[in-house]
């Protein structure tokens, strides 16, 4: 099974850049999208005409950047799906999460809270950290109930110094603050595994987000923000992971996970 996750930074924008051809070529069984930035009716009108996929769309009645979606091949048997999480307010307020249950695992696709200016730091930082707390609690409940969990996300955090091109210069920057990085450590300490680091524990210069400024991408200078995380009992099912850095139609690249 092939799962691709991708922060497209606007699905209508990437649709103009060989998006459909990419999907037809790669033919993922499941495609997880973050930052769709489009209403469902816009998506249907302007983007999607590949008829062998179903999808789950999570958006509201006003434009918002954090929307998410999951596309899956019609031949797959989806046992359950969710895009509504009223019992976990942090999951529902900004339409950040979609989820499906398939075969022997639950797939959670999401987009973590983010902020861009120092004026936002205090309020959004604590919101972001609380979002982590809710995710850890929610994933733990699934695992304790007997489920395997695959979490794919634009985490908006670099975990370690080898996940960022310039750690020293960014040690006080958003996405690399010690208190943020500690939350990924806490997640992994709750019996979860960053699949990329499982296969490549010391590999450097692998990133998933590059600024549009200062020619960051040609120079491969930036951050690894996008992850596939699984519970430890499921790691033997993971065959491979790849950061598809040659795909340049967003400021993020897609990430591909192969499950046995």
154 flagged as catalytic? yes
160, 181, 154: which is closest to 253 by C-alpha? 154
The count of other CB atoms within 10 Å of the CB of residue 212 is: 9
Q: Where are the alpha helices (DSSP H) in the chain?
A: 11-15, 19-26, 40-46, 89-92, 121-144, 178-189, 195-199
Q: Name the catalytic one among 29, 51, 154, 194.
A: 154
* Residue that has been written with the tokens 């020293």 in this structure: 168
Distance, CA of 143 to CA of 223 (rounded, Å): 30
Residue 209 DSSP code: B
Instruction: List the catalytic residues.
Output: 154
């Amino acid at each position: 099974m092939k799962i691709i996750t991708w922060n497209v930074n606007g699905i209508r924008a990437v649709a103009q850049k060989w998006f459909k051809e990419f999907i037809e070529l790669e033919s993922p069984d499941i495609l997880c999208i973050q930052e769709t930035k489009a209403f469902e009716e816009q998506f249907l009108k302007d983007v999607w005409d590949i008829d062998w996929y179903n999808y789950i769309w999570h958006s509201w009645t006003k434009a918002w950047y954090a929307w998410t979606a999951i596309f899956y091949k019609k031949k797959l048997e989806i046992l359950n799906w969710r895009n509504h999480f009223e019992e976990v307010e942090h999951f529902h307020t900004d339409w950040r999460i979609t989820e499906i249950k398939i075969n022997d695992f639950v797939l959670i696709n999401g987009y973590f809270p983010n902020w861009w200016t120092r004026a936002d730091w205090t309020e959004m930082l604590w919101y972001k950290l609380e979002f982590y707390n809710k995710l850890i609690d929610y994933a733990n409940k699934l695992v304790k109930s007997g489920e395997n969990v695959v979490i794919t996300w634009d985490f908006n955090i670099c975990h370690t110094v080898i996940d960022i091109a310039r750690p020293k210069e960014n040690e006080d920057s958003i996405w690399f603050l010690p208190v943020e990085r500690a939350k990924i450590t806490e997640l992994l300490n709750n019996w979860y595994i960053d699949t990329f680091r499982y296969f490549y524990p010391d590999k450097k210069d692998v990133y998933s987000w590059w600024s549009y400024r200062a020619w960051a991408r040609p120079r491969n200078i930036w951050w690894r923000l996008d992850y596939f995380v699984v519970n430890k009992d499921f790691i033997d099912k993971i065959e491979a992971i790849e950061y598809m850095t040659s795909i340049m139609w967003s400021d993020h690249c897609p990430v591909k996970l192969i499950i046995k």
